[in-house]
Amino acid sequence: MTAMPAPRLPALFHIGWVVRDCAAAQAELSSRLGAGPFLSMGGESRFEAALVHGQPTPFSLRIAFGALGGVLLELLEPLDDRSPHAEFLTEHGEGLHHFAYLVADFDEQLAAIRAAHPSGSALASRRRTRRWRDRRPGSARAAA
């Protein structure tokens, strides 16, 4: 059985980037790439009943948004070890976490994506671990 073509996505809304230190990431992105200005969402954003691995799990993040070129960048600093962002940071280090799109009907869009990719390969999952490893020259993982 062949997969159906993937539905067309609207324009990118933002890129989510997991960081160890939100303030330090803002400073570095500003100085190195001219990103910003950044808008902090406050000291702590609490998510009281988000589903993590199918279970309601409270967690906290420090979040900031800023412009990088023509793209909105979302910086996500885990403030505890319960969020999917903390899990990502532990497994992969800092880096690209997600692309976000605004769609009219989320359930319809998700069903269309799943129909086009029944194996789930188009969706983020733990199976993608090897693809997201740090490959920067000089990093410990690049040599592995």
Asked whether residue 96 falls in the same domain as residue 112, the answer is no
Residue 11: per-residue pLDDT: 85
Give per-residue pLDDT as tens, 86-138: 999 999 999 999 999 888 888 888 888 888 877 765 554 332 333 333 333 33
Domain tally for the chain?
2
Residue 2 lies in a domain: no
> Averaged over 36-58, what is the pLDDT?
91
Amino acid at 100: A
CA-to-CA distance for 52 and 72, rounded, in angstroms? 25
Residue 28: per-residue pLDDT: 96
Asked whether residue 114 falls in the same domain as residue 128, the answer is yes
Taking a C-beta distance cutoff of 8 angstroms, is the pair 52, 82 a contact?
A: yes
Asked whether residue 43 falls in the same domain as residue 98, the answer is yes
Please say if the pLDDT value at position 6 is more than 70.
no
Which structural domain, as residue segments, surrounds residue 28?
A: 11-102
Give per-residue pLDDT as tens, 73-96: 999 999 999 999 999 999 999 999
Residue 5 lies in a domain: no
Between 13 and 106, the more confident residue is 13
Residue 104: per-residue pLDDT: 86
Taking a C-beta distance cutoff of 8 angstroms, is the pair 100, 12 a contact?
A: yes
* Closest to 99 measured CA to CA, from 78, 79, 73, 81: 73
Residue 76 lies in a domain: yes
Report residue 12: phi and psi, to 5°: -60, 135
Asked whether residue 110 falls in the same domain as residue 91, the answer is no
Asked whether residue 134 falls in the same domain as residue 66, the answer is no
Asked whether residue 42 falls in the same domain as residue 76, the answer is yes
Between 34 and 54, the more confident residue is 34
Q: Name, in order, each residue with C-beta under 8 angstroms of 136's C-beta and a sequence gap of 6 or more.
A: 142
CA-to-CA distance for 36 and 29, rounded, in angstroms? 8
